[in-house]
Amino acid sequence: MEWEGVVSRMNQESEDLPGQISPTRGKAGSTRSVSVFRMKNGIPGTQCVFFFGVYSVTFKSVEELYNTGIKKSSAADCTITHGGHIHDLAIKAGCHENELIDFSANINPAGPPASFRSTIKRTLDQVIHYPDHHYLDLVEAIALKHGGEPENIVVGNGSTELLYALPRALACKRALLPVPSYSDYGAAFRMAGIPVETVQLCAENNFLFEIEHLVKHLSGGDVVVFGQPNNPTGRMVNRDAIVNVAKAAPFSMFIIDESFADFVDGYSSLSLDALPNVIVLKSLTKFYAIPGLRLGFVHAAVPVANALRASLPLWSVNVFAQAVGIESLKDIAYAEAARHLIKRNRIRQVRRLNAIGSLRVFNGCANFLLLSLSNPRVNARRLAEELLKHKIAVRLCESFEGLDNNYIRIAVRSDEENKLLAFHLAEILNCKPIRIKRNHRTPAIMFQGTSSNAGKSVLTAAMCRVMVQDGISVAPFKAQNMSLNSFVTSDGGEMGRAQVVQAQACRVAPNVSMNPILLKPNSDTGSQVIVNGKSVGSMRVAQYVKYKSTAFNIVKENYDSLASQFDAIVLEGAGSPAEVNLKDHDIVNMRMASYAKSPVLLVGDIDRGGVFASFLGTMETFEPWEQSLVAGFIVNRFRGDASLLQSAFDYTFHHTGKPVIGVVPYITALGLPEEDSVTFKCSESLWDDTRKPVVTIGIIDLPHISNFTDFDALLLEPDVALRIVRTPGDLDSLDAVIIPGSKNVPADLAWLRSSQIADRLVSLAHGNKIEIIGICGGYQMLGKEIADPYGIESGGCKCSGLSLLDISTILGRDKILERTVATHKISGHTVSGYEIHHGRTTINGITVLLTNSKNEPAGAGTSDHRIWGTYLHGVFDRDPFRRWFIDRLRSNKGIFPLGKIVAQYDIESALDRLADIFRAAVNVKNIYRIMGL
């Protein structure tokens, strides 16, 4: 029985389908696709596939269709004829759309170009005007990128709009389609009333379309439509053969769909040949990952282009799509990186899938793969249903003519996602997993800051101590730290002091794997680079940028090793992730978070002002993948009633979609070492104004100061004030002055002289009016001479010291890294700390004041102890010696010594206090949920 009718559009909101039917011409009992909208007069015995939007439903008879109430929500019982219907798939999988891994749509896994968000924002003010309906700037950008003249290019609202308009613009009698292929090729021509004939491609020949065999079947008025590469097979047609056939059949038209051609390395578009009977159809949606914007174009001979333009509505391409298209086409680096990513990931995935039994891979050259199943227990639909249980969506291929329910198509996505798909495919088809290396994700959380000194180091330590208190085995990690405040581990490795404190918060021994890269600036443009605890030399900025790829591999190895030993990792970022000049070679912020699969909490310092602007501004610099890592914000150092900030929280959530998950108060006298010298450099003094100090000690603010935490313990003493010395006048009325460590002794000595602080120090020393202490580099400066024959800190020069002690120093090639316990001879007290120095110091005729366990000198000075120095960082950390030192200064002023310990330098109690404050300010259970604990 045959039937026919007039096509009319179905009301998509309609729940039932009573009324009239309008099929294209077809035979009863066939499975030819027909357009159905409303119908009456059921025709018993008819079996056909009816399309509703993107769904097709098979009925045994039209009467059955008449008697069945169909709703759009019945998608679970329908065959999806396009990929990417993530909303419906998520409903069926029982998860949120963001949780679904969508292999059904062939979209670039790299996401849109970095310019996407900024382009959209710049274009917002254009929405009050109609778009340029000539698309002049976009057409020019397309011509520049893909070749051709502007008059040859027609822009549309996605390639689909252009595809459906082309049959109306062409005077053609018949469409020839190799199948399987994109189903809308045939649908477009059938809708225009043009007969469609198909050429079946064979799986035995890997679905290769040999176009040269088609020439003898072509006649005037034919149009041949195919993909280059083809969807769903991913196969390419020989380019020379296309050109030869087009020339041999000048009265036939050839529509070549190059929507996936940008994924093919080295591909040369057919538009460059400018053949009059070749029409190139191209989508920008897939390659630039903008399916929600819709953008495509056609390159055709002028007569065809003009006819196509005339068939399109005005303003079909909006201002956002035009602007994004222009910017995306300029981004050569993005395109090259995307092709490299897809090619690498496709090759790896093919290798994995080939190892799975009962699965055949048709290897293509695009960003997707066609798979056929030969497992009698599992067909494609069953496989898709099983994968959805794991929140994975694939494309069923039975809607492609020539394919059946044993074929699926999968997109090429990130390597981790591809591994996951391969794992579950093997599990479902073989009933056992194949040997695929899968990275175990150790639960992690990362604290990043909107700026340096936002408080992320302290909050990292707080989270570490909270987790330890909750019985979780945890370790800290910072991929790269730039700080002159370092520490020596028990095995002689050098690492950042902040990670040492964080390790103490975790109650584990500090290890260089917690901070594999340490940068110690020794000039404005260079740093000493410490890798795995050992120096690999000094590098200027450009040198280190080149080294970063090597450094990141080292970072990942250390992270993997550390993560395998603990139940959770708390990571810390560096500086700000919004430093756009550093993002391309980032190894410590978002790139590290991505590698660790760690959610990110963004910390802002409200005490500086503008914290909510910094949250929003930081988010604006992020690409989509970076934004997806951000779990929320923490407001740090707040003074006042946090409830007053609710309107700001709401505003921030409205604009970013991310919540503020905590407000941490301003904490005074915390008692933990600072990570870097930011606070020190910004201070005039380092003591509480409520104190009434008896002793004042100066700390000289050297330009290259290092290990400034050597005097942190002195801050705890109630009778001590610390003053920052930056001018000669700052030395007045001091009881003692400390010359701290330096990363560039020659340069800092020159600064002491140019600032006239050196002359004032010498004058005070000769008058016995002050006690002068040198630590590490400061100890070397007190001597007569510092030689640097290997150019460790200078250009190989020799410089004179302050000559306040009879010592001389040579900077050796190798760095001394030691933990040291020593005895102070005059007081008899034990001191401890660590040594980090290249210097080898010779003591000539002065008193050895400190000796280590081997009875070797660890410090020396004048016999009256007025001028002395040591290499020992942390010399004041032990309470008895520190009190003896302060009481001696009191006695020198004629003030009675206290004679007992009044302050304890106890990091443990400080960490517990910090954890209590953090718990009260932040919902820790929420963070655990974010981490997946």
Catalytic residues: 776, 873
Residue 532 near residue 491 (C-beta atoms within 8 A): no
Q: What is the DSSP string of 34-92?
A: EE---B-S--TT--EEEEETTEEEEES-HHHHHTS---TTGGGGSEESSS--HHHHHHH
Q: How many residues does the chain have?
A: 933
Q: What is the dihedral of CA 330, 332, 333, 337, to 10 degrees?
A: 120
Which among 475, 570, 440 is positioned nearest to 930, based on CA atoms? 570
Cis ω for the linkage preceding 229 (within 30 of 0): yes
| Three-class SS state of 876 | coil
- Residue 824 bridge partners (DSSP): 850
Which among 307, 235, 228 is positioned nearest to 262, based on CA atoms? 228
Which among 294, 404, 417 is positioned nearest to 345, based on CA atoms? 417
User: CA distances (Å), 201 to each of 126, 179, 354, in order?
Assistant: 48, 6, 22
User: CA distances (Å), 7 to each of 23, 47, 291, in order?
Assistant: 7, 19, 28
State the CB neighbour count (10 A cutoff) for residue 292: 9
Cβ neighbours for 753, distance < 8 A, ≥ 6 positions apart: 759
Q: What are phi and psi of 793, to 5 degrees?
A: -120, -5
What tokens were used for 506? 């975790």
Match 């006042």 to its residue by tokens: 640
- The per-residue b/e assignment along 659-696, b for 16 or more CB within 10 angstroms, e otherwise, is ebbbbbeebeeebbbbbbbeebeeeeebbeeeeebbbb
Residue 223 near residue 298 (C-beta atoms within 8 A): no
Instruction: Tell me the C-alpha distance between 683 and 698, whole Å.
Output: 13
Q: Work out whether strand 359-362 and strand 474-477 pair parallel, antiparallel, or are unpaired.
A: unpaired
| Three-class SS state of 760 | helix
Instruction: Tell me the C-alpha distance between 858 and 868, whole Å.
Output: 11
Question: Three-state SS string across 722-745, please?
Answer: EEEECCHHHHCCCCEEEECEECCH
Instruction: Tell me the C-alpha distance between 520 and 674, whole Å.
Output: 16
Residue 194 near residue 173 (C-beta atoms within 8 A): yes
Instruction: Tell me the C-alpha distance between 759 and 731, whole Å.
Output: 11
Q: What are phi and psi of 542, to 5 degrees?
A: -60, -35
Helices (H), 371-451: 380-388, 415-430
End-to-end CA distance of the chain: 64
Instruction: Tell me the C-alpha distance between 334 and 363, whole Å.
Output: 24
